Structure 1
Amino acid sequence: MEEQAQDLTRIKGIIKRRKWWLIWPFVATVALAAIICMILPNMYKSTATILIKNQQIPPTLVPSTVTSYAEQRIQTITQEVMSRAKILKLIEKYNLLPNDRDKLTTEEMVEKIRDRITLEPINAEINKETSSRPVLLTIAFTVSYEDEDPKKAQLVTNEISSYYMEKNLESREAHARGTTKFLEEQLKQVKDQVDKLETKLAEYRKAHLEELPEFTNLNMQKLEKLNSDISNINMQIRSLEEQRATLRNKLASIDPYSGASDRVLSPEERLQQAKLERAQLLSKYSPKHPVVLAKNREIALLEKQVGEVNKIGYLKEQLHELELKLADLKSRYSDKHPSVKAVKREIAQVKKEIRTLKTKGGTSATRRVTDATNPAYIALKSDLDKINVSVASLKAEKKRLEKQIGEVYKKLHAMPEVAKKYNELETDYENAKAHYQELQQKLLTARVSQGMEEDQLGETFLIIEPAFLPEKPDKPNRIAIMLIGVVLGMGLSVGMAALREYTDKSIRDVETFEKITGAPVLSVIPRIITSDEKIKKRRKKIVLVTSAFGGVIVVLIIFHFFVMDLYVFWAKLSRLVQSKVLL
C-alpha cells in the first residue's frame, strides 16, 4: 500500500511538473484536427439503386439470344462510363471541378472524377433449377457520385444511372439484331449450297439414271429379255439358213433358161460343150468365120470363169489352213504374239481376195441370170432373195441387241461407283438441308427474341431508387477527425511528458537524493516564490483560460459552418428537451 501511495504521489508530481508538456501537445493536436476539419471541403454523395429485372416472358417460351450475364454488361458499361471521353463530357456538361481546372491537368481531373464515381453490386443467393445449391447472383447495384455541390452530385448520378439503362438496352438490342442478321446471312449461304447440291444431284441422277442401285432389278430383267430375244433370233437365223441352203441346192439343179425340169450345167461342163461345138464349126467354116469367132469369145469367157472358180477354191483351202494354224498358235501364245499377228494379217488378206472374186463372180452370175425365163427358177430365186433379206435383217437386229446387252453390262459394272458417288451427294444434300432447317428454326427464334428486346420485355435495368439530393455532407466525417485528434493529442502529450521526464536528470525528492548519495537528508528547504514568479504564474493562467475560451469558440464556429447551423442545433435541442419534459 505504501508503495502504491508513493507511486501515486510520484505520478502526481510528474503531472504537476510536466503539466504544460501534457497541455500544449494535446491542444496543438486538437487544434490541428480542427484546422483540418475547417480546410476539408464538404463532399455530398448521391446514390441511385438500379434493379436487374428478369425477362418478363418465360425463357422456355421465348429463349433470349443475349447470353451474356448482367455482371458482364455492367462491367462493360462501367468501362464506358469511366472512359476519358465520357468523363470529359460530364465535366463540361455539369461544370465539375471549377476551382481545379487551372491547377490540374486533364488526366488528373479525369482520374479525380473517376475516384468520385463508385459502383457497388448487391448480391443475393438464388435457388436455380439447374443447380442443387444456391447461386450468388447480382440482383441490383448502386451508382454513386461525390461532389462539393449536392445538386451536381444528384445530376451526375442521375446521368450515370440513365446511361447504364440506355447502354444496357442498346447492347441487348444490338446483340439481338446482330444475331438475327448473322443467321439471315448464314441461311442465305446455306440455301445457295442446298440449291447447288440439289441441282448437282438431279443432274447426276439424270446422267446415270439406269446406273443407280434401284435400277438393278430392271437392268437384270432387261438383260434376261435381251438374251431371250437373241436366242430366238439365233433360232430363226438357223432355220432360214437351212431354208436358204435347200433353195440354193434346188437352184443349182434348174436351168434358168429352160423348162423347169432341165438341169443347169456347171461352168466346166459348159466349157467342154462349147469346145465340142467349136470343133464342129471348124469342120464347116474357116477359123475367121463370124460364128467361129463368136464361139471362141464364149470359150474365153467360160475359161476365165472356170479359172476364177478354181482360184476361189484354192483360196478357201488356204484360208482353212491358216485358220487351223491360228488356232494352234493361240493355244500356245497370246493374241499379241508376233506370229499370231502375222497369221491374222494373212487371213485378212485371203478373205479380202475371196470377197473380191465372189463379187466379180456374183456380178457375172447375176448378169447371166438376169434374163432367166424358167418360172420355177424365178420363184425359187425370189424365195432365196426374201430369205437373204430376212437373214440380214435378223443379223442386224441381233447386232443391235448385243450392243444393248453390252450397254446393260456396262451399267451393271458402273453401279457400285455410281452408287458411292450418288450416296455421297445425297448425304451432303441431306446434311445441308438439315442444317438449313435448323438455321430456319434458329432464325425464327432470333426474330422473336429481337422483338422481345425491342419491346423491352427482356432482362432490363430498372431504377428503383433515383438519385436524391443530399442534405448533409458524406465527407469529411468531422466528428471522427476530432475524436482522432483528441486521441492522438492525448497520446502525444503523454509521450512528450514522459520523454521530458525521462531526459530530465534533476533530483525532485528526498528518496531519490538519499538513494543516489547514500547519505541521509537532515532537512528540506521549501521553494521560495517571489513576486515576479507570482505575476508570471497569473499570466499563464490568463493565457490558459483565454486559450480554452478561444478553443471553445473555434469548435463552435466549426460546428456552425461545417456540421450544423447553431440555430438549427438549438432548435432541435429545444424540441428534444421539450419532448422529454412532456414525457
Structure 2
Amino acid sequence: MAIAQSIGADRSVEAGHAVKDFRQMVRRRRPVIFAVVSVIAVVGLATAFLWPPVYRSKATILIEEQEIPTDLVRSTITSYADQRIETIKQQVMSRASLWRIVEQYGLYQRLRKGSPTEEVLQQFVKDIQIEVINVKVVDKRTQTPTQATIAFTLAYDGESPDLAQKVTNELTDLFLGENLKSRERHAQQTTAFLKQEAENLAHHIEALESKIAVVKQKADGALPELTQLNMQLLNQADRELIDVDRDIRSLEERKRFLEGELATLKPVQTGEPGLYQHSIAARVHVGLAAGASKVQGLAEKAR
C-alpha cells in the first residue's frame, strides 16, 4: 500500500514538472508564437477582403416517375434515375456545349487570356456542382425499404450573382431539353417494340383460330360448346320419331280396316249392284296402296 502511494506521488510530481516546463517554454518563445499567429491572422483577413467574391446559383430539378410497364423496361428506381442523370450529364457537359456557354456569357476572361481551352473548361466543370437527392421509400414490387432518387440540384459558382443565375438557367434548360429528347427516343423505341409485339400476337391469334377451325371441322359437332345445341336437336328428333310412330300405327289400323272390308265383298256377275260393289272394291285397293306408300315413307323417315 505504501509503495502504491509512493508511485502516485512520483507521477503527480512529474506531471507538475511537465506543466511547469511547458509554461516556461511558452514564455521563452512568446515572441515567435505571437508573430506566427499575427501573420496567419493578417493573411486570413487579406484573403477574405482581397479574394474575389463567389456567388452560387442553384436549381432543383424534380424527377417524375415514368409510366413504364413493369414487365418491359423497369429497373430499380434509384439505379434507373441515377443512370439517366449521368447519361444526360455526359451529353450536356460535352466540350462543345460547355465552350459555347463560355463564349456566350464571356466567362473566365482573365483565364482565357493566358491559358489553353482545356484549362478553361476544367475550371468551368469544377464550378458546376450536381448532387442527387435520395429519400427512403418502399419498393412497390418487393415491399422492402430502398433508396429512391426523387430530384437533383444543379449549381454554378460565378463571379457575379446575375452571371451565376444566367449560367445556371442555361445549364438547367440544357438538362431539361436533353431529357425531353431522351424521353422521345425512348417513347419511339417503346412504341416500335409494342407495335411489333402486337403484330406477333395478331399472327399468333390467327394461327390459333385456324387450328380451332380445323379441330371443329374434324369433331363434326362433338365439341363441348355445341352440347346444348346437340341436345336440342336430339330432343326435336325424338319428338318427330314419336309423331311418326303414331302416324304409322294409325295407318296400319286403317289398312287392316280396309282389308277387312275388301274380304267381305263378293263378286257379282250381272246387274247394277255388281257394278257398285266393283267400284267400292276399286276404292279400297286405291286406299290400301296409298296407305302402304305413306307407311313406307314414314318408316324410312323414322330411320
Give the unaligned 5+ runs of structure 1.
202-212, 215-583
Please tell me whether the aligned partners of residues 92 and 178 of structure 2 are also in contact (alpha carbons under 8 angstroms): no
- Superposed, 1:125-140 pairs within 5 Å as 125-140=136-151
Please tell me whether the aligned partners of residues 66 and 172 of structure 1 are also in contact (alpha carbons under 8 angstroms): no
What corresponds to 1:507 in structure 2? none
Amino acid at match of 1:78: K
Task: Sort the Cα spacing of 1:168 and 1:15 in 2 relative to 1 into closer, same or farther, 3 A.
Answer: closer
What corresponds to 1:155 in structure 2? 166
Q: Distance in 2 between matches of 1:171 and 1:119?
A: 19
Q: Distance in 2 between matches of 1:167 and 1:65?
A: 23
Give the unaligned 5+ runs of structure 2.
1-11, 211-216, 219-303
> Is 2:126 the partner of 1:112?
no
Task: Sort the Cα spacing of 1:67 and 1:163 in 2 relative to 1 into closer, same or farther, 3 A.
Answer: farther
What corresponds to 2:183 in structure 1? 172
- Superposed, 1:118-517 pairs within 5 Å as 118-184=129-195
Amino acid at match of 2:180: L
What corresponds to 2:103 in structure 1? 92
What corresponds to 2:272 in structure 1? none
- Please give the secondary structure, in 2, of the residue aligned with 1:157: helix
Report how many aligned residue pairs link the two structures: 198
- Please give the secondary structure, in 1, of the residue aligned with 2:112: coil
- Please give the secondary structure, in 2, of the residue aligned with 1:130: coil
- Please give the secondary structure, in 2, of the residue aligned with 1:131: coil
TM-score, scaled relative to structure 2: 0.53
Q: Distance in 2 between matches of 1:142 and 1:83?
A: 19
Alignment RMSD: 4.1
Q: Distance in 1 between matches of 2:185 and 2:163?
A: 32
Task: Sort the Cα spacing of 1:20 and 1:133 in 2 relative to 1 into closer, same or farther, 3 A.
Answer: same
Larger displacement relative to structure 2 (17-26 or 62-71): 62-71
Show CA shifts across 1:429-453 (max 9, x none).
xxxxxxxxxxxxxxxxxxxxxxxxx
> Is 2:78 the partner of 1:53?
no
Q: Tell me which of 11, 30, 34 is aligned to 1:23.
A: 34
What corresponds to 2:94 in structure 1? 83
Greater share of strand: 2
Task: Sort the Cα spacing of 1:192 and 1:30 in 2 relative to 1 into closer, same or farther, 3 A.
Answer: same
What corresponds to 1:484 in structure 2? none
- Please give the secondary structure, in 2, of the residue aligned with 1:96: coil
Show CA shifts across 1:77-135 (max 9, x none).
11112211111121112111112111221111111111111111111111233123212
Q: Distance in 2 between matches of 1:3 and 1:184?
A: 89
TM-score, scaled relative to structure 1: 0.29
Q: Distance in 1 between matches of 2:18 and 2:205?
A: 104
Please tell me whether the aligned partners of residues 46 and 157 of structure 1 are also in contact (alpha carbons under 8 angstroms): yes
Deviation at 1:12, TM superposition (A): 6.4
Deviation at 1:64, TM superposition (A): 10
Q: For the pair shown, which has the larger CA radius of gyration, 1 or 2? A: 1
Deviation at 1:145, TM superposition (A): 0.9
Task: Sort the Cα spacing of 1:45 and 1:194 in 2 relative to 1 into closer, same or farther, 3 A.
Answer: same
Percent same amino acid at aligned positions?
33
Q: Distance in 1 between matches of 2:71 and 2:180?
A: 14
